[in-house]
Chains A and B, each alone.
Chain A
């Protein structure tokens, strides 16, 4: 691989990691999964998904001392 391509690749990878780490990509992942597994039903909208995700996330112990 040429150095510029390698650099581009590294930046893209870091960006993907950052999005995954911050759950920025949660909806994209959900959509991909939904298309694969439940293509018969319409998916939740971005907003519906976000609100229900927060509800789920904060129902158990998810933060510590």
Chain B
């Protein structure tokens, strides 16, 4: 009976994947993708994750976890596995899996979807589960500490440097996404601004009025957020009020930079913590609602399976299918960042080692499912509309007429009237060149929600989706700046002791300022870049995230080899090899390609040439020196990231070689085994 069930799942899954890959009509129904995803996840979880947990990791359910041994009622607490699953999923799921697939949809729905499914089941889920397990065995040590303990100081230092770099780039690119969503949109801007006082209000409620009553405070906050969305609509109708919230990109960038600094130095209970409660509720609620709506609506996907842009000429970002689809979709397939969460908070809550399968592998499967939904939301739009929203003026032309002509010329017909009607129905003045992925995702989500719950609320749904993305992104921005600050304080404390004191205000102000200046610089350059900035920053973020995954998989592979499991080392070694290939070839192209839409150096040289020839307009000429410098800096950064990855790989291979040769290696940092029965309760 059981066997028959799994054979049926395999057959349906195979049939659905085949259908997704081979059906070539005008359109394909999203349910094909949903069915393929559900079956792939079910098979991956039931068979592969079970095998990895039992054979490779040798999960021992009778061995006491740190939560059981070190239970202190606070951070070390044995917790029910579904509760930990919820916490862990809320921690790993950010805006990444929503944005990456939206951008990668320029290649068509097929390449991205296949990578999301295969990458998650064989790579991302395995990474998350393995690191979670290894950190649990080491009392919840962080990835950086594990790298240092198990590989040596070189690996440890590289892990920390990689983490700091990815943090800076991640925050910059997310800031850019928010800025692009708010640009000249009073409704979106006022709603996003309103989330700040709402969060502060909830923060005061949670500390002073009714301390720690998270549920009721969150419900009040959610009601206020929905009011803010509706209120933004009313404000949008009012001529004077409207003008107060109508900003251009650079002004909004300065606002986000200032906000990031203030949020990083304020006490956490005032802004960061309450915002996070609200964003977690919104996140879980909206993801659930979206899944239900997709199944109810069963939309047709209008994007072709594969577009002509796989040759590298895509308007959203330059670069061919290989390696750039694998770089663009990091979160949702393999996300190195998860290794930081999986080695820290979550291991301290795990009540039984056997739970790492559900929590590590399962949460990542769900996150991958979110990425699949984002892909559906992007590809159900008319391709012409999708490209009109997501293409920068530097690529398709600065006016609406020029843009529709270019895009229609690619074989994706769209008209100015169509775009105007769409913008009007979404309560926006224009949807042309709203790069960054958030507006097109919001249009897609609004179409899905309105298709199921009624067409009349389209504009409300659109701004709800924008608010939802912004709340998420600003939480990541606050939390990331804070983590960056702690890492910098830790690093600087080796230079001068007082810098390490996390509550000493001069140190807090200086280090927060440095971190904000770091991402603020990339954000500002991205905003003034006529090609939209996303095309530069997102690939850099993808490379950084895959680099971090590479480091995590190196640590995992090294530990497996040290435990005498060389024959299973491919479980983490194969995804590692694949990530090394894609990050290295992506870096190679981003640095050396002679195509100015791909190569940083070629673009810098071309702009320098045009500046020298006075071929630029006065406005272009004023920002040109900054853009030229930035492209060269980006090239150096990409090289640095890839060099870090290869140093860690070399270190892991060195340790593995010594194990095979029987030479001494750093001892295992696993905590001594204690049986569950021996722990006093």
- Interface residues of chain A, those whose CB is within 8 Å of chain B, are 17-24, 26-27, 29-30, 32-34, 37, 45-47, 49-51, 53-65
Q: Of B66-74, B237-245, B353-361, B451-459, which binds chain A?
A: B66-74
Q: How far is the CB of A37 from chain B (nearest CB, A)?
A: 7
17 sampled A-B residue pairs with Cβ under 8 A: A19-B215, A22-B215, A22-B218, A22-B281, A29-B77, A50-B206, A54-B269, A60-B483, A60-B486, A61-B142, A61-B344, A62-B91, A63-B276, A63-B475, A64-B341, A65-B170, A65-B337
> Contact at B83–A30, with CB atoms within 8 Å?
no
C-alpha spacing A37/B214, complex, angstroms: 26
Q: Is the CB of B337 within 8 A of A29?
A: no
Query: Would B218 and A27 count as touching, CB distance under 8 A?
Result: no
Which residue of B is nearest A52, CB measured?
A: B74
Instruction: Let me know if A56 and B486 touch, CB within 8 A.
Output: no
Evaluate contact between A49 and B212: CB separation under 8 angstroms. yes
Contact with A along B11-45 (1 / 0, CB 8 A): 00000000000000000000000000000000000
Further 11 A-B residue pairs, CB within 8 A, beyond A22-B277, A24-B214: A23-B214, A26-B212, A50-B211, A53-B212, A58-B268, A58-B479, A59-B502, A60-B344, A63-B479, A65-B331, A65-B545
A26 to B73 alpha-carbon distance, docked (Å): 9
Q: How far is the CB of A32 from chain B (nearest CB, A)?
A: 8
**A54 close to B337 (CB less than 8 A):** no
What per-residue 1/0 map shows which CB atoms of B75-90 lie under 8 Å from chain A? Answer: 1010110110011000
B344: A residues at CB distance < 8 A: 60-62
Q: How many residues of B contact A (CB 8 A)?
A: 57
Of all A-B residue pairs in the complex, the 4 with the closest CB atoms, nearest first, are: A33-B73, A65-B96, A63-B479, A47-B211
Q: Which one of B86, B337, B482 contacts A64 once the chains associate, using CB atoms below 8 Å? A: B337
Instruction: Give CA–CA (A19, B80) in the complex, Å.
Output: 12
Residue in contact with B211 in the complex, picked from A19, A32, A46, A57, CB distance below 8 Å: A46
A54 to B80, CA, bound (A): 21
- Taking CB atoms, residues of chain B closer than 8 Å to A30 are 73-74
Tell me if B94 is interfacial: C-beta within 8 Å of chain A.
yes
Q: Which of A20, A26, A34, A62 touches B341 (beta carbons < 8 Å)?
A: A62
Q: Give the CA-CA distance A37 to B75 in the complex, in Å.
A: 15
Which residues on the B side are within 8 Å of A57 (C-beta)?
Answer: 268, 273, 345
- Given contacts A20-B83, A64-B338, A65-B545, whether A34 and B475 have CB atoms under 8 Å apart is no
Residues of chain B contacted by A50 (CB below 8 angstroms): 206-207, 211-212, 269
- Asked if B314 is an interface residue, CB under 8 A from chain A, the answer is no
The yes or no answer to B101 lying at the interface (CB within 8 A) is no
Minimum CB distance partner of A59 in chain B: B486
What is the distance, in angstroms, from B366's C-beta to the closest C-beta of chain A? Answer: 13
Query: By CB atoms of chain B within 10 A, which of A45, A60, A61 has the most?
Result: A61
Nearest chain A CB to B363 CB, angstrom units: 11
Q: Which residues of A contact B86 (CB under 8 A)?
A: 21
B87 touches A21 (CB 8 A): yes
Q: Which A residues are CB-close (under 8 A) to B338?
A: 64
Give CA–CA (A51, B203) in the complex, Å: 10
Complex contacts, A34 vs chain B, CB 8 Å: 73
Bound-state CA distance A47–B203 (Å) is 12
Residue of B nearest to A21 (CB): B86
Asked if B95 is an interface residue, CB under 8 A from chain A, the answer is yes
B315: CB under 8 A from chain A? no
Q: Of B73, B75, B83, B341, which one neighbours A56 at CB under 8 angstroms? A: B75
Which chain A residue shows the least CB distance to B482?
A: A58
Q: Considering only CB atoms, which chain A residue lies closest to B92 in the complex?
A: A64
Distance in Å: Cβ of A56 to nearest Cβ of chain B: 6
Contact partners of B142 in chain A: CB under 8 A:
60-61
B603 lies within 8 A of chain A by Cβ = no
Point out the residues of chain A lying under 8 angstroms from B82, CB to CB: 17
Query: B272 contacts which chain A residues (CB < 8 A)?
Result: 58
User: Assuming A21-B86, A30-B73, A51-B207, is B476 touching A65 (CB within 8 A)?
Assistant: yes
Q: Which residues on the A side are within 8 Å of B215 (C-beta)?
A: 18-19, 22, 24
Q: Find chain B residues with CB under 8 A from A53 CB.
A: 74, 212
Name the residue on A nearest B272 (C-beta).
A58
Contact assessment for A24 and B74 in the assembled complex, using a CB-CB cutoff below 8 Å = no
Asked if residues B72 and A33 are in contact (CB atoms below 8 Å), the reply is yes
Pair A51/B269 contact, Cβ less than 8 Å: yes
A19 surroundings in chain B (CB, below 8 A): 215
A30 CB, nearest partner CB in chain B, Å: 5
Smallest Cβ-Cβ distance to B477: which chain A residue: A63
Give the residue of A21, A33, A55, A64 whose beta carbon is less than 8 angstroms from that of B340: A64
Chain B residues, CB < 8 A from A60 = 142, 344-345, 483, 486
Contacts of B93 in A (CB 8 A): 64
A62 pairs with B479, CB closer than 8 A? yes
Question: Which of A19, A37, A45, A54 has the most chain B CB atoms closer than 10 A to its own CB?
Answer: A54
Contact partners of A27 in chain B: CB under 8 A: 211-212
Alpha-carbon separation in the docked complex, A65 to B335 (Å): 9
Assess whether A63 is in contact with B476, with CB atoms less than 8 Å apart.
Answer: yes
CB distance from B104 to the nearest CB of A (A): 15
CB pair B340–A61 under 8 Å, yes or no, is yes
Chain B residues 465 to 504 lying within 8 A of chain A, measured CB to CB, are: 475-476, 479-480, 482-483, 486, 502
